[in-house]
Structure 1
């Protein structure tokens, strides 16, 4: 009996190790693809053709040159053919995607919630770096997120997803409306008060529509809260360090990405803690 139990535990442990290794590997390769998207989409280039090549000498890269992270390490951050230095950010994006996927797997296990969150975060990682570099959020990425958001919306009608916490069919639709509508209101108020259309970027507004579909209305509010708080804290720090001034433009997209990821990991825990604290004070 004890032997059987131990074998069962070993089998389960081995399966979980296999799952984590597989997801880490998946994250590395997805991150490699995201590098292509991050570079090519803002330049209106195809993400399919031409094949990956060195930006300096134009030499097409072979399989040994494209192994995520490991190629960068083994080639010592240089092109095999011309010796041009390769930005370490390529490896960083690959590692970041793998870590994000592992944390989501730890949170949700092998589930539809994991698949949905992994899909959205892949798009948002690309958004993070594109907005940071070019101060734009491409419509193509927003559309891809909207298409993906339709799947958890439909699935929730038949079987509840953890992130929604209920089976109300309108939950994700309300989330999309709240996210999109709130930022649109901020933009309108900014234009009325400050006579500028820079209070909130159009890409930021559109991006919250698919985020709302993925998260539902309660977690969309949580994401808005975390995004604005993190943006405010970082902005104050940059102003104090004199890295930015009051007239500088701050990109909001990266903070939306951070807010969404934090919500996936801790959103319900934060909301329940807040409601519990509120109940204690009211009591």
Structure 2
């Protein structure tokens, strides 16, 4: 029964991630609620079967059913990561629904940052609201406050040196306030390890800039699953 619960939530998470990609794609025209997904190449509307997360990509072998244009593998990865992000939540509990709102907001921002290395601040409003209204300040330990203050200073200095974006700091503040600074530190540790690993594997130039927020989101998912 436990595994059925996790599997069901994984499917829900994949669907939410698929919609997060739609929100990003149609954000400028504000037509992401009622609009149907369509192929970016031939612009034909996709059928319901073509919109099934993960399975449709595998069944169609990563190609549009109509024009056979390659579907970006990133869409499959977004849905996969989204599945893991929501798989341990209990949607019958108010607290977990609130967490889901925060995760969805961060996922849309991560997709935007991955695609164009920037995002509309309005996309973060749900996550910021959740972090403020349901903050964990009362649960902060002395170590939490020390690390929170220290990292806030380091991140602020990095932003002034143009080595870090303001969005990364906002994401840290959101995660630290809603969970704890210790939790946020683990998230950023995982994110940093992932970026370093990708850098070494791809052997990219030392001055190459990676979008960091997608790795922060993956780090958040890993921290949730492990801890």
Q: Is this a same-fold pair by TM over 0.5?
A: yes
Kept in 2: contact 1:124–1:257 (CA 8 A): yes
Partner of 2:116: 134
Partner of 1:272: none
Alignment match of 1:235 (pick from 191, 196, 199): 196
Partner of 1:160: none
Q: Distance in 2 between matches of 1:233 and 1:50?
A: 35
Whether 2:18 is the aligned partner of 1:57: answer no
Q: Distance in 1 between matches of 2:133 and 2:161?
A: 33
* CA offsets 1:220-247 (integer angstroms, 9 cap, x no match): 23423541464267437725863131x3
Q: After superposing the two structures, state which structure 1 stretch, 18-27 or 55-64, moved more.
A: 18-27
Deviation at 1:55, TM superposition (A): 0.9
Structure 2: gaps of 5 or more residues: none
Partner of 1:278: none
Kept in 1: contact 2:17–2:82 (CA 8 A): yes
Alignment match of 1:66 (pick from 44, 51, 55): 51
Pairs aligned (count): 224
Which structure exhibits the higher relative contact order, with contacts defined as CA atoms closer than 8 Å and separated by 6 or more residues? 2
**Cα distance 1:251–1:205, how it changes in 2: closer, same or farther (>3 A)?**
same
Alignment match of 2:16 (pick from 30, 41, 48): 30
Alignment match of 2:175 (pick from 190, 200, 211): 211
Kept in 1: contact 2:109–2:124 (CA 8 A): no
**Cα distance 1:206–1:230, how it changes in 2: closer, same or farther (>3 A)?**
closer
Q: Distance in 2 between matches of 1:139 and 1:71?
A: 32
Kept in 1: contact 2:102–2:126 (CA 8 A): no
Q: Distance in 2 between matches of 1:122 and 1:179?
A: 27
Whether 2:170 is the aligned partner of 1:185: answer no
Q: TM-score, normalised by structure 2?
A: 0.76
Give the number of the structure whose residues are more often helix, by fraction. 1
Deviation at 1:137, TM superposition (A): 3.7
Summarize the alignment of residues 105-254 of structure 1 with structure 2, pairs less than 5 Å apart.
105=89, 111-150=93-132, 152-153=134-135, 170-171=138-139, 185-190=153-158, 197-215=161-179, 219-228=180-189, 230-231=191-192, 234-235=195-196, 238=199, 242-245=203-206, 247-254=207-214
